Amino acid sequence: MSEKHIDELSGVETTGHSWDGIRELNNPMPRWWVWTFYACIVWALAYTVVYPSWPGLTTNVKGYFGWSSRGQLATELTEAQATKAVYLEKIAATPVADILKDEELNRFATAGGAAAFKVNCTPCHGSGAAGGNGYPNLNDDDWMWGGSIDEIYTTITHGVRYTDDAETHASEMPVFGDILSPEEVKQVAAYVYSLSGGAPSDAALVEPGKALFADNCASCHGEDAKGLKDFGAPNLTDAIWLRVDGSEAGIAGQVTKPTHGVMPAWTARLGDTTVKELAVFVHSLGGGQ
């Protein structure tokens, strides 16, 4: 912009740029506009003084207010905790079955339980609580250790076959491979398979299998094979299989050399309040009794 160019028509100086012969007038701004601009500069400088700004070699200028986004988060978290504390105290003081009766508390506990579930339980039970082979699905109505709110609460509190907790659900299925002959195992498996509507490979195996079941298995799984929750012995007549794929061979394998699930006792880790929330959440999934 070496030369000044004056527009003939308006007598106003142009910016000196020309686009296809069109020039832009350089009309002066109003004074207040200029002052607003200066005020913004002053504001910006002041901003760097009171808020964190200039970078240094190891740290930065912290600013007069000492504000940081981390600090703000901490404040907000503290406030959130304070709001939640009211409910948490109420949950701590309420027996778990009564939480279900209080609509507001129930909603809070379900949401809290869902959050705790995501963090602590999903590795085994899955994010939708649908479980997997060996890990029970918590949505269905099949409960090995009982599906009432109190039973769920007890199970989460003390865990399953968790040696550090004296009150844990401890019972295990014996290794029947040491007790029964392979032929007998086959017979029991055929019988158990038939219980849930399956057609065994050899129908002749079912009768002796039934007798063997009455002698060896009924004490835990019940005469009718519908399971006994005191022992965590599953119902063998229903459509749900946990540790095996539900085939005859799979059943035989579990009888010969059983595998067992283990779950930690959670109260020691999460505290009673969170465990109550977890119980309420699991109970709400659809199978709760």
Partner 1 sequence: MTTNIPSGGGSTPAGNSDQPLYEAKRRVFAKKVEGRFRNFKWLILAVTMAVYFVTPWLRWDRGEYAPNQGVLLDLASRRFYFFPIEIWPQEFYYVAGLLVMAGFGLFLITSAVGRAWCGYTCPQTVWVDLFIAVERFFQGDRNARMKLDSSPWSFDKIWRIGATHLTWLLISVATGMGWIFYFGNAPSVFVKFFTGELPFVAYGTVMVLTFTTYAFGGLMREQVCIYMCPWPRIQAAMLDEQSLVVTYNDWRGEPRTRGAKKAAAAGLPVGDCVDCNACVAVCPMGIDIREGQQLGCITCALCIDACDSVMDKIGKERGLIAYATLEEYDSNMNLATSNRTTSIQPEKVRNADGSFSDKIRHFDWRIIFRPRTLLYIGAWSAVGLAMLFLLFTRERLDVNVLHDRNPQYVMESDGSIRNGYTVRILNMMPQPRTIRLSIDGLPNAVMKINGYPENKGQVYDIPVKPDEATALKVFVTLPKADVSSQAEEMRFIVEDPENGERRVYKAVFNGPGVKK
Output the known binding site for heme c: 121, 124-125, 173, 217, 220-221, 263
Nearest CA to 264 among 144, 141, 123? 123
Q: Which residues inside 12-41 make contact with partner 1, applying CB under 8 A?
A: 12-13, 25-34
The residue range among 39-47, 125-133, 211-219, 251-259 that interacts with partner 1, by the rule CB under 8 A, is 125-133
Q: Does 123 bind partner 1 (CB under 8 A)?
A: no
CB atoms within 10 A of CB 164: 10
CB atoms within 10 A of CB 256: 18
Q: Which residues inside 233-262 make contact with partner 1, applying CB under 8 A?
A: 235, 238-240
- Site size toward partner 1 (CB under 8 A) is 35
Helix (H, G, I), strand (E, B) or coil at 78: helix
What is the chain's Cα-based Rg? 36
- Max Cα separation, the chain? 116
Residue (25 or 77) nearer to partner 1, CB: 25
Q: Are residues 179 and 216 in contact, defined by beta-carbon separation less than 8 angstroms? A: yes
CB atoms within 10 A of CB 22: 8
| Residue ranges of the binding site | 121, 124-125, 173, 217, 220-221, 263
Residue (238 or 272) nearer to partner 1, CB: 238
The residue range among 52-60, 75-83, 268-276, 279-287 that interacts with partner 1, by the rule CB under 8 A, is 279-287
Show Cβ contacts of residue 233 under 8 Å, excluding neighbours closer than 6 positions: 144, 171, 173, 220, 221, 222, 227
Query: What does the alpha-carbon distance between residue 192 and residue 95 come to, in Å, rounded to a whole number?
Result: 39
Burial of 227 (0-12, 13-18, 19+ CB in 10 A): buried
Q: Does 216 bind partner 1 (CB under 8 A)?
A: no
Integer angstrom CA distances of residue 65 from 75, 76, 77, 153, 157: 15, 17, 20, 48, 46
Q: Does 286 bind partner 1 (CB under 8 A)?
A: yes
Residue from the set 76, 98, 141, 230 that interacts with partner 1 by CB under 8 A:
141
Residue (7 or 167) nearer to partner 1, CB: 7
Q: Minimum Å distance from CB 100 to partner 1?
A: 8
Residue (151 or 238) nearer to partner 1, CB: 238
Q: Minimum Å distance from CB 33 to partner 1?
A: 6
Residue (103 or 178) nearer to partner 1, CB: 103
Residues that bind partner 1 (CB under 8 A): 4, 6, 10-13, 25-34, 103, 106, 126-130, 137, 139-142, 235, 238-240, 284, 286-287
